[in-house]
Structures are given as C-alpha cells and as structure tokens.
Amino acid sequence: MMQRVEAVIGKKMELWPTDEEEVTLLRERVDEASRLVINELKDQAKGNSGKKRRWDEGSAADDLDRDDDVVEAGIPLKRKKRRP
C-alpha cells in the first residue's frame, strides 16, 4: 500500500522506526474491532431484511392524529381533472 502512495506522490518515503511487538499488538486490536463491527452490521442487516415495516404498538388514539384528520373534518379531497 505504501508503494502505491509513493507512486502517486512521486516521492520515496523514509522508513519510520517501529517496535515490531507494538505493531503486532495494535494490529490485533484493529482486527478484533473489525470483527466486532462486521458482526454488528450483519446483525443489523439481518434484523431489517425481509420484514414489513412495523408500526409502534401504541394506542389506537395515535392513529387518529395522522393525516386522516382532514377526511374526518369534512374537508373535500382534491380530484384530478380529466382530459376530454
């Protein structure tokens, strides 16, 4: 990967001094975090796939507060004009 970066910027980068043990420990932590994220995303995707949208299990009064107030109030609906 570093070679690709060097090719894009057109310069050779200096070798950075690192402790191999420290790099190994950090790599293990990154790998573990990646596994956790992948599993969490899979669980979220599994929970949403193939299911219809669920409405809240609230009271029926919540449904009355929706857009059907317009119909209950007696306001006429707009109808499309027909072409002759």
User: What is the distance between the alpha carbons of residues 70 and 26, in angstroms, rounded to a whole number?
Assistant: 60
Cα–Cα distances (Å) from 50 to 38, 42, 45, in that order, read 20, 14, 10
- Residue 34: CA count within 13 A, CB half-sphere: 6
Go through 13-45 and write b for each residue having 16 or more CB atoms within 10 A of its CB, e for each that does not.
eeeeeeeeeeeeeeeeeeeeeeeeeeeeeeeee
Q: What is the pLDDT along the chain (84 residues), one digit of tens a residue?
A: 788 999 999 999 898 899 999 999 999 999 999 999 999 999 998 886 555 555 555 555 555 555 555 555 666 666 777 776
